[in-house]
Amino acid sequence: MPDGGFADTYSPRNVLDDPSFRILAPGEVPAPDANIAAFYNPNHEIHLVQKPRPIPGPGQVLVHVRATGICGHVHLLAHPERCVNPIGRDQERCSLLEAWKSRRFDDCDRRVQCGSGHESAGEVVEVGEGVTQWKVGDRVAIEAGVPCSKSSCDYCRVGPEVVFFSTPPFHGTLTRWHLHPAEWLHRLPDSLSFEEGSLCEPLAVALAGIERAGLRLGDPTLICGAGPIGLVSLLSARAAGAEPIVITDLFQSRLDFAKKLVPGVRTILIERGTTPKDGAQKIKAAAEGAVKVAIECSGVESSIHTAIHAMQFGGKVFIIGVGKNEQLFPFMHLSANEIDVSFQYRYANQYPKAIRLVAGGLINLKPLVTHRFKLEEAVSAFHVAADPSQGAIKVQIQD
């Protein structure tokens, strides 16, 4: 490994400076074995590129990526007009995209391109020197967050300093052939499909939140937001024994989906213009009392306020959602009611747990995938994922 750790090993320059790298023309049909990938840029443009097929070095594995889910935070790439006057969930996603543009895209490329995808699973096709735990044909889930692994790096021992594939400037896993450190792959049992292996990434997010929120058997629990992360949090909270569970959203269709997923969940439609206190009253009525734990999956200020006002004394609001850079919280209400507020950036040590829970039948991820596309159709897949009228929960690209 170079002195700079994985940041050097997976530098985008290794791809972008290769003479074979090129952006495919709209409608161009690549060769069947070409290493194509879905890339994006600060202008919100999504397109296919062709890049070199990597050769694994010491400690590396080449994976044929068989399934990749589209994360909800990238839907604005397909619809830049939503960043003009963003509302609701769009606010945090626009803030995230603008942060990427200002802080990271400048490092990305002379053509300013970055690869997407971090929810992936696939099949080992080649192993590098010294790799003994994997062989050709092994089925794996790909953990996208990789610490630099330098012995001198304190952050590697606590979590935040990582190469996270698809976060600029690092290219993502939405590609045909992906090079990955051997120690950051996870074996899929025969009973799990590549589709389920891909979904272990958002499940890992939810499991980290459930763990750090301290949710216990029988805790009355609120989940704010019925998007993919909210839904896997719902499945995780049910598996952890939360009861009752209330879930909120702005769209009735998503609440209906949540009800089919976990029939015992109690759903609350938050209509636009509803005050946080009024929303909290509806939640308390549904839960037959204040809740002890809230898993906030939107990052929207009004939703966080609603969760706070729905809490019992000494409860905990755990925020998974990504929100605006600065927000106002009801400080004295939190203080007087000893309500804890905690946040999640990423996760650690969750993939093995996620695989065990799915393989053991405690969590069923299969219903979450509502749309499937071929890798060559990745651009269309992004547009479907970005269009609420399509009713997509989780869009997957498969190869």
In a domain, 30, yes or no: yes
pTM: 0.89
Regarding whether 287 and 241 lie in a shared domain, the answer is yes
Regarding whether 120 and 23 lie in a shared domain, the answer is yes
Q: What's 383's domain CATH number? A: 3.90.180.10
Regarding whether 211 and 178 lie in a shared domain, the answer is no
In a domain, 351, yes or no: no
Regarding whether 230 and 141 lie in a shared domain, the answer is no
The β-bridge partners of 293 are 221, 316
pLDDT digits (tens, 9 = 90+) for 154-207: 666 555 567 888 877 788 999 999 999 999 999 999 999 999 999 999 999 999
In a domain, 194, yes or no: no
In a domain, 359, yes or no: no
Total of domains in the chain: 2
Its domain, for residue 249, covers 202-343
Regarding whether 208 and 178 lie in a shared domain, the answer is no
Regarding whether 126 and 18 lie in a shared domain, the answer is yes
Q: What's 293's domain CATH number? A: 3.40.50.720
Regarding whether 281 and 132 lie in a shared domain, the answer is no
φ and ψ at residue 158, rounded to 5 degrees: -120, -15
In a domain, 390, yes or no: yes
In a domain, 334, yes or no: yes
In a domain, 192, yes or no: no
Average pLDDT per block of 10 residues along the chain, 399 residues long: 64 88 90 91 84 95 97 56 42 46 42 79 98 98 82 60 78 94 96 97 97 97 96 98 97 96 98 95 98 96 97 98 91 98 91 97 97 95 87 94
Give pLDDT, residue 41: 78
Q: Which two tokens stand for residue 335?
A: 């203080």
Regarding whether 210 and 165 lie in a shared domain, the answer is no
φ and ψ at residue 188, rounded to 5 degrees: -95, 125
Regarding whether 207 and 312 lie in a shared domain, the answer is yes
Regarding whether 99 and 76 lie in a shared domain, the answer is yes
Nearest to 9 by CA among 20, 1, 17: 1
In a domain, 100, yes or no: yes
Regarding whether 271 and 304 lie in a shared domain, the answer is yes
